[in-house]
Homo-oligomer: A and B are copies of this chain.
Amino acid sequence: MPYIKAMDTDAAAKQLAELGNPHRLEAFRLLVKAGEDGLTVGEIQEHLKIPGSTLSHHISHLVWADLVVQERQGRALRCRANFAAMHALIGFLADECCAGVTTSCDPAVRAKAASN
């Protein structure tokens, strides 16, 4: 049974490639750390210190790959990591490297591991 839903190689490659850029990976890391609150584009920019147009380009990549979702809040755009997509990607990689086991991102696995 696939973790969330079957992911084909091309979709996984797309997401991996998007995460494979230092600026984008760092931005994504920040968003994960920020959790459900997410961060605005401006807040991300304060950390990355790169021009807005460059950052916007990178974030649009992450959105296009469905790794980040955006929601407008007034004149700011709030970005959030798409945790479900990330879990699916990790599940795909775990399938590749561990021959089908689920990841501990799976609540069921975490519960079992925690019960000790």
Interface residues of A (CB under 8 A from B): 9-10, 12-22, 25-26, 28-29, 32, 81, 83, 86-87, 89-90, 93-94, 96-99, 101-106, 108-110, 112-113, 115-116
Q: How far is the CB of A88 from chain B (nearest CB, A)?
A: 10
Tell me the bound Cα distance from A15 to B22 in angstroms: 11
Tell me the bound Cα distance from A11 to B58 in angstroms: 19
User: In the complex, are the beta carbons of B104 and A109 less than 8 A apart?
Assistant: yes
Tell me the bound Cα distance from A19 to B17 in angstroms: 7
User: In the complex, are the beta carbons of B96 and A101 less than 8 A apart?
Assistant: no
Which B residue's beta carbon lies closest to that of A112?
B113
Which chain B positions have C-beta within 8 A of A105? 94, 97-98, 101, 103
